Structure 1
Amino acid sequence: MDGKNRDDITPGLKVAIVLKKDQRTGAKTEGVVKDLLTKSKFHPHGIKVRLEDGQVGRVAEILE
């Protein structure tokens, strides 16, 4: 799954996100979702989340 639908993402899910500083390169950072920050049901660039380690980015891929 690609992480563009909010319903697919829940806290505790392992995901790969693209951080703001990595948007140009598309480098992915793996982690576990702590909070969902995007309120809308769908976002074309991915739902914005906060990982348990505090990093914030848009979900590029759902890993589990």
Structure 2
Amino acid sequence: MDGKNRKNIKPGQKVRIVLKKDQRTGTLTEGVVATLLTKSPTHPHGIKVRLADGQVGRVKEILE
């Protein structure tokens, strides 16, 4: 599942995000969602989240 719809993402889920510093390379970082930062229901580049370890980025993949 992709991370463009806010309704698909819940705190506690395992996701892969792209950090701001990694946007050029597209390197993904895996972690657990702590909070959702994007307020709109969808976003073309992915919903912005804060991971449990404090890193912030846009969701590219939702892991099952």
Normalising TM by the smaller chain, what interval? over 0.9
Uncovered stretches (5+) of structure 1, i.e. residues with no partner: none
TM-score by length of 1: 0.99
Quote the Cα distance in structure 2 between the aligned partners of 1:2 and 1:45.
10
Quote the Cα distance in structure 1 between the aligned partners of 2:47 and 2:29.
14
State how many pairs are aligned.
64
Cα displacement (A) at 1:18: 0.1
Moved over 6 A (4+): none
Q: Aligned residue for 1:27? A: 27
Sequence identity of aligned pairs in percent? Answer: 80
Cα displacement (A) at 1:57: 0.1
Quote the Cα distance in structure 1 between the aligned partners of 2:13 and 2:46.
15
TM-score by length of 2: 0.99
1:2-55 Cα distance to aligned partner (Å, 9 max, x none): 100000000000000000000000000000000000000000000000000000
Q: Please, what is the CA RMSD of the aligned residues?
A: 0.3
Uncovered stretches (5+) of structure 2, i.e. residues with no partner: none
